[in-house]
Amino acid sequence: MHAHSEARIRAGTLCAVLLGAATLLPSQEVRYSGPQSGEPLDSFSVLAVNGPEAGTEVDFVSRWGDDPILLIFLHQLDRNIAALLRPCEWFARDRAEAGLKSLIVFLHDDKVFGERRMQAVVKSMGIQIPVGVSLEGLEGPGSYGLNKSVAITILVANDREVTDNYAIVQPGVVDAPKILNAVSAHVGGDVEKLMARVHDADRRAMMARRARARQAEQPKSNDSN
């Protein structure tokens, strides 16, 4: 067989392998959830979980009017959600004086259970911005068109209009900078400095966990001697 024929065969085989491998890659389908950029931010009520109005139904969006808003819908709760939620909540607190209004909404089909669950989350994470539970169950506000297949939907709005939408299937702390930069476009703030605080807190927490683990192992070592 000629050398150029063998080269064509090898190239064809490689192409087939690559095409076959491509079919095995996970889908990169874009997920849509909630109103998109340029669409209005409709008002809705939630069951307030914390603050002076805890236990009552509150329409925060109407109350806040045209102020810049960070709106976070939690479709589920896990460590990945918490990792993203913390820098968002810290930044929301930092920029409150600049006029930022923020709300976390937990979507659950049982609002009583949802309230208790979020009370525990508020306590464990030290959340200070308003937190609420959906009154419309897992679907959330009817006009929002939230997608249950994503883990979290984050909306940034100003003048009652959505400017940025983030529908994230597998959230994590790596998603925080792009979200917070979108918020800072309305209220300012040093995103890089805040993320440095977050990473420093993570390092200190990891060191504390390791120290506790070593301390827990110490009695076993002593007993074995």
CATH value at residue 99: 3.40.30.10
Q: Where are the strands (E) in the chain, listed by range? A: 46-48, 57-58, 69-74, 101-106, 131-134, 152-158, 161-168
The C-alpha atoms of residue 52 and residue 100 are separated, in whole angstroms, by 19
Residue 170 lies in a domain: yes
In a domain, 120, yes or no: yes
Q: Is residue 21 part of a domain?
A: no
- Domain span at residue 97? 30-215
Phi-psi region of 79 (alpha: psi -120 to 50; beta: other; left: phi over 0): alpha
Please tell me the predicted confidence (pLDDT) of residue 225. Answer: 53
Q: Is position 54 within any domain? A: yes
CA distance 157 to 189: 16
Residue 167 corresponds to which tokens in the numbers above? Answer: 């529908």
CA distances from 213 to 141, 206, 216, 220 (A): 45, 11, 5, 12
Residue 190 CB-half CA count within 13 A: 6
| Residue 4 located in a structural domain | no
**Alpha-carbon span 151 to 225, nearest angstrom:** 50
What is the model's pTM? Answer: 0.81
- pLDDT value for 203: 83
Q: Is 150 a member of any domain?
A: yes
The pLDDT of residue 22 is 37
143, part of any domain? yes
pLDDT < 70 positions in the chain: 1-29, 219-225
- The tally of domains found in the chain comes to 1
Tell which residue, 82, 95, 80, 71, has the closest CA to residue 126: 82
Cβ neighbours of residue 144 under 8 Å, at least 6 residues apart?
34, 35, 42, 44, 73
- Inside any domain, residue 23: no
Determine what percent of the chain falls in helix, strand and coil, rounding each to the nearest 5: 50, 15, 35
